[in-house]
Amino acid sequence: MNSKKVEEISESLEAMHKFAQIYAKQTNTFFCFDPSITSVVITGLANYKNKYGVPLCPCRNYHNEKAEIDLNYWICPCVSMRERKECHCTLFLKPDQEYASQTQKIDIDTIYENL
């Protein structure tokens, strides 16, 4: 990602970084053992937040992103996460799930390194 783009999304990136750590703690979920996965998902959320002001789920394809925002289903934390603790992006994993680490923290520098 070029430096102009990084600068453009840095505020959203920091907001989503904070959100992910707090929400993992609140829900007793954990990040993936591979921090590059966590980084990519947080960056994807930040890109949408930067574009629309809300973090649409970055792991889906949308025919119409604005319509999806109006539906409010795939705005993170999405309905499946809120209702059943199911995160399809491997951002928030239950402790016994495959790929779950034991951490609810990720360094912001790790996210920047994976941009």
* Binding residues vs ligand SF4 (CB under 6 A): 41, 57, 59, 74, 76-78, 81, 87-89, 91-92
Please say whether the beta carbons of 71 and 79 come within 8 A. no
Is-catalytic flag, 76? no
What's the closest the beta carbon of residue 59 comes to ligand SF4, in angstroms? 5
Exactly one of 32, 57, 59, 87 is catalytic; name it. Answer: 59
What's the closest the beta carbon of residue 5 comes to ligand SF4, in angstroms? 21
Mind telling me the catalytic residues? 59
